[in-house]
Amino acid sequence: MGLIASVLIFFLSLKSYKLKTIDQQIFLISFLQLFFVVISFTSLIVCFIISDFSNETVFNNSHTNKPIFYKISGTWGNHEGSLLLWLLVLTLFLFLFLINSKNELKKYRVLTVTFQQVIIIGFFIFVLATSNPFNFLFPIPIEGLGLNPILQDPALAIHPPILYVGYVGSSLIFSATLAAVIENYISKDWAKNIKIWVLISWIFLTVGIMVGSIWAYYELGWGGFWFWDPVENVSLMPWFCLTALLHCVLVLEKRELLKSWTIILSIATFTLSMCGTFLVRSGVLNSVHTFANDPSRGIFILCFLFFLITISLIIFFIFNKEKQNDYIKINFFSKEVSIIVNNWFLMYFLSVVLVGTLYPIFLEVLTDHKVSVGPPFYNKLIVPFLIFFLLFMSVGPNLKWIKENDIANKFQLIAFFFISLTISSLIYLEIGKINLINTLLIAASLYLFIVTIKDFFSKELHNFPKKLSHFGFSLFILSILFNGIFSSEAIFNLKVGEKFTFKNEKIFLKSLVKKQKENYQSVIGHFTIEDDKKNISLFKPELRIYDQPIVVTSEADIKTTLFKDKFLVMNKIKGNEYFNVRYQVKPFMIWIWISTMLIAIGGFLSLYYRVYEK
């Protein structure tokens, strides 16, 4: 019924476009379309709750002993259910757009609905043809296969829905941009309208990435905030594009500059979201995050993506004809120039992540050799340019639109820079183990940190959301830097009753305790860690042996303070009474999460601050 509604809306929108009006039936059918998808998704949730194993999706991803919370989250913790959630968000966003854009041009609204329906119809066909979540099984199995145990976690239960809002939001930006290009509506008014949807997508993508990162930190036992896992990269790439797009929209809203660049970024953001969908669901990437391993599904998404990109490029080259008077002279010392330069840096970072993610895939296809691209690749290519990015980010928001003439402001920024450089040099002399690049990076980070703190004391209160996000980003970079420089790690083997000395701490495996839980058996290690001041901390990492499927997972124990995390995880060595133990001291970990939340909160506040930059 949802697909039929989509087809009806598509033809009604084409008819409305010709008549230069909006058929009121579009609102009703859009509501019905949303209603049908909500009913379908709710039905799938009910099937998971009651363990209806006549449903193939439930059989493959649940079992009767699974806790009710994970039965519900299992609805979208698989390929078929997650695509149904995609459809739900797609139809919800379209319905909200129809309600929210009543004052926009009628032909623009109708064209946006038309393009969005093309995307929705494509996903409906994809779900029905290759990924139906309601396939029937007969005879009906007695028990299900269960959900991957590492996915049975509260953070990962909310991670996909939040991330999907960010991904799917880019589809509406894509549709609205193509409609605006055809109607020659890329203007200040359009920028004010589309900025809301860009902000919503950017906020949810930011929070979704953060929640996924927190989950990987404590659940996978890798002991860090980011691992350059291919699927992590897939979510980071559209974030780079959305961040650049958000700043371009601000320039367009103020001066009607960067029209073509805004269009390109809108198309690129959606393209990267779809590419991520292809990589995760085609079996091309090997990661704990991947949903599916069916090449036929990947081919469908790839062909559909190729079709959408082709249509968007045709529209861009035919209809995007900037007039001569659209080219406005801009001064080098202006806010818009700093935004342009930082957009170049963001596109460079995006290119590095894209190459690092896709290069191993193409190499394996061409030469049948597998390679992995890890942190050293990204650090060498990103860190040097990050220094200049932070400097421009520090200076740019403090410049004026059109031209900066405030000499005192320039002097103040220069003074702050030398203060930051001095502090960084003192850190280098005190520690001694950091190199020149890290010293300059600390200086640039401190510079951004000091400047963003100073901004809170200015009189422009209507810019508070922007200031909060920029401050959060400065805190984020500083936390990452100090975390990387001061972290320490020890990997060793212990059996019950043995001790290991690491720096000024003694790690003692005191005992093991076994407990039977609802759907797994837990083996808890009781560790004590004593420092040189005789302070003793108790750690209880555990191994979980799940019943269905039979999988062993490691659960880290993490002691968090404002200054550092102590991270302990253990793994059983097969055929041996020893346990492999990893102990890490990770400074400023909590500030990485706090700073990310500050960035997102700044975005949320921007939705309510309707006073645009003066």
Q: Mind listing the pLDDT tens digit for each residue in 110-121? A: 899 899 999 999
Q: Please, which residues bridge with residue 492 across strands?
A: 581
Range with lowest mean pLDDT among 1-15, 92-106, 290-304, 390-404: 290-304
Cβ neighbours of 106 (radius 10 Å): 16
pLDDT in tens, 530-574: 888 888 899 999 988 887 677 888 888 999 999 999 999 998 887
pLDDT in tens, 32-55: 899 999 999 999 999 999 988 888
Residue type, 414: I
Q: What integer is the mean pLDDT of 476-486?
A: 89
296, pLDDT greater than 70: no
- CA–CA separation, 115 vs 538, rounded Å? 58
Two tokens at 335?
A: 């806010």
Instruction: Name residues whose C-beta falls within 8 Å of residue 429's C-beta, 6 or more positions apart in sequence.
Output: none
Parse the chain into domains and list their residue ranges: 1-152, 168-328, 488-590
Instruction: Name residues whose C-beta falls within 8 Å of residue 545's C-beta, 6 or more positions apart in sequence.
Output: 520, 521, 522, 523, 551, 552
Please, are residues 545 and 520 in contact by the beta-carbon 8 Å criterion?
Answer: yes
- CA–CA separation, 252 vs 257, rounded Å? 5
Range with lowest mean pLDDT among 19-33, 104-118, 326-340, 589-603: 326-340
Question: Of 403-417, 448-462, 548-562, which one has max mean pLDDT?
Answer: 548-562
- CA–CA separation, 363 vs 252, rounded Å? 40
Please, are residues 143 and 64 in contact by the beta-carbon 8 Å criterion?
Answer: yes
List the beta strands (DSSP E) in 422-556. Answer: 488-494, 499-502, 505-516, 520-530, 536-539, 542-546, 552-555
pLDDT attached to residue 614: 41
Instruction: Name residues whose C-beta falls within 8 Å of residue 299's C-beta, 6 or more positions apart in sequence.
Output: 282
Q: What integer best gives the mean pLDDT of the chain?
A: 84
Q: What integer is the mean pLDDT of 216-234?
A: 78
Count Cβ atoms within 10 A of the Cβ of residue 444 and give its class: 0-12 exposed, 13-18 middle, 19 or more buried: buried
Higher pLDDT residue, 322 or 74? 74
pLDDT in tens, 344-395: 999 999 999 999 888 887 777 677 777 778 888 898 899 899 999 998 888 8
pLDDT attached to residue 221: 60
Q: Which of 412, 356, 405 is nearest to 380 (CA)?
A: 356
612, pLDDT greater than 70: no
CA angle 506, 507, 511 (to 5 degrees): 135
Share of the chain above pLDDT 70, in %: 90
Q: For the chain, state the CA radius of gyration.
A: 26
Please, are residues 58 and 47 in contact by the beta-carbon 8 Å criterion?
Answer: yes
pLDDT attached to residue 613: 44
Two tokens at 330?
A: 């801009």
Q: What integer is the mean pLDDT of 241-247?
A: 93
